């Protein structure tokens, strides 16, 4: 009965979750249609240009986002009934992001003049469009006012509109800059649509703010930026360190299983966290006990979904290997190890983002950041040893140990609140 009441009392949030799950699926499927085509047409060398430049762009996007999708989202959720304060928070965050965008471009220029990276220079500069688009998408606003489903819709429209152009304009390895341009335009088109919607809906206005207001948004986001940076370090280190110890075939096998696991996991977990984060943050200010009850229901839902996903990865691995082909024989053990990862990712996500961040104070924010620093240390130290001893299987175990560490540390903190 409690679950039924929870669903009835949160119809909009539940509807948004299913919207996002469907749209996240679309956003994962479309690239899966484009990337194999690019791999074949561009060849390994030119596709390597795209892959390297995209990795650089992803780190720059992390810098430009600077944790605003958590800090500014919460502040907007709390101020959404005060238009003056809403305009102030939005404007200060936008100016901060524009400053970070300019600084990230200067960083890109510094990277591009390194002699070893000269071959990637043109592709990196074109791919910077991705960073520009991400900076103009303003996810923090849509999430804070409870309209996050639109971000997935914008991304879906952008990817579908770019897909036919990729097949038309990219016909040979010499077209690699067109491929980079189209990848970047996905983000730019999505940002353009979002800006038009913000303008037409008149949710906020861009106003003049004091420099102190911009500094405030940066200082509020800095601990969260450190935690997301630490997360990126430890998620990236697994493949990098495995590549040092193992043959490319093992790196490819590990990457394939990891991508499948993460795509399915994030497609389910991310919509729940995006929709309910601002909702829980606002509710906690009015009725803390009710907010805790919502988190309890969400925790149960996420555990159930992740157990089903884990079971699928564990028992359906032979079927997936069959579709992947002979090059992926022997990855059944990888699938079985990684089947447990989504369970801890899901539980840690609910406790960390909803209990500690949405309902917590400054000390919880700092603890959240420090947890991922600890996780990065566990990841790097364990993957160095386990990858050396057991190759890709050791890397998978290291990933599992790291996610367990994050969950346990969040749980210990949550029990004291």
Greater pLDDT, 27 or 157: 157
Express each pLDDT in 368-413 by its tens digit. 878 888 888 898 899 899 999 998 899 999 999 999 999 999 999 8
Res. 47 pLDDT band, cuts 50 70 90? low
Reply yes or no on whether the pLDDT at 3 is more than 50: no
Query: Which two three-digit tokens encode residue 252?
Result: 């490819």
Express each pLDDT in 221-260 by its tens digit. 887 787 667 666 666 677 667 766 876 567 667 777 787 7
Average pLDDT over residues 264-284: 77
Q: Is the pTM of this model over 0.85?
A: no
Residues 331/261, Cβ–Cβ less than 8 Å: no
Query: Rounded to the nearest 5°, which phi and psi values hold at 19?
Result: -55, -50
Domain ranges of the chain: 19-209, 220-417
Average pLDDT over residues 208-226: 85
Mean pLDDT value across the chain:
81
pLDDT score, position 1: 43
- What is the rounded distance in angstroms from the CA atom of residue 340 to the CA atom of residue 337? 6
Average pLDDT over residues 176-204: 90
Query: Rounded to the nearest 5°, which phi and psi values hold at 401?
Result: -60, -40
Residues 240/395, Cβ–Cβ less than 8 Å: no
């Amino acid at each position: 009965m409690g679950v039924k009441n929870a669903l009835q009392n949160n119809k909009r949030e539940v509807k948004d979750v299913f919207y996002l799950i469907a749209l996240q699926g679309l956003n994962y499927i479309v690239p899966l249609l484009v990337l194999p085509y690019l791999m074949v047409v561009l060849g390994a060398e030119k596709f390597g240009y795209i892959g390297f430049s995209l990795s650089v762009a992803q780190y720059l996007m992390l810098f430009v986002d600077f944790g605003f999708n958590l800090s500014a989202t919460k502040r907007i959720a709390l101020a959404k009934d005060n238009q003056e304060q809403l305009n102030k928070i939005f404007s200060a965050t936008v100016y901060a992001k524009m400053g970070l965008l300019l600084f990230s471009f200067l960083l890109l220029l510094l990277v591009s003049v390194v002699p070893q990276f000269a071959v990637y220079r043109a592709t990196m500069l074109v791919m910077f469009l991705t960073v520009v688009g991400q900076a103009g998408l303003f996810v923090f606003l849509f999430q804070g006012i409870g309209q996050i489903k639109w971000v997935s819709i914008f991304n879906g429209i952008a990817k579908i509109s770019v897909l036919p152009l990729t097949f038309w304009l990219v016909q040979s390895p010499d077209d690699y800059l067109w491929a980079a341009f189209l990848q970047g335009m996905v983000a730019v088109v999505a940002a353009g649509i979002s800006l038009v919607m913000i303008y037409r809906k008149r949710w906020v206005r861009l106003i003049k703010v004091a420099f102190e207001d911009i500094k405030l948004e940066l200082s509020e986001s800095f601990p969260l930026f450190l935690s997301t940076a630490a997360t990126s370090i430890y998620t990236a280190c697994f493949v990098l360190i495995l590549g040092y110890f193992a043959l490319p075939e093992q790196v490819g096998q590990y990457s394939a299983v990891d991508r499948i696991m993460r795509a399915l996991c994030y497609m389910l977990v991310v919509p729940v966290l995006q929709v309910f984060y601002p909702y829980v943050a606002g509710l906690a200010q009015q009725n803390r006990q009710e907010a805790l009850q919502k988190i309890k229901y969400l925790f149960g839902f996420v555990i159930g979904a992740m157990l089903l996903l884990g079971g699928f990865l564990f028992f359906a691995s032979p079927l997936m290997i069959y579709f992947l082909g002979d090059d992926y024989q022997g990855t059944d053990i990888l699938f079985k190890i990684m089947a447990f990862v989504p369970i801890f990712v899901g539980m840690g996500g609910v406790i960390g983002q909803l209990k500690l961040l949405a309902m917590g104070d400054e000390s919880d924010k700092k603890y959240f950041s420090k947890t991922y620093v600890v996780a990065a240390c566990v990841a790097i130290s364990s993957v160095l040893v386990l990858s050396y001893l057991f190759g890709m299987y050791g890397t998978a175990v290291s990933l599992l140990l790291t996610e367990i560490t994050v969950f346990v540390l969040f749980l210990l903190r949550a029990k004291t609140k």
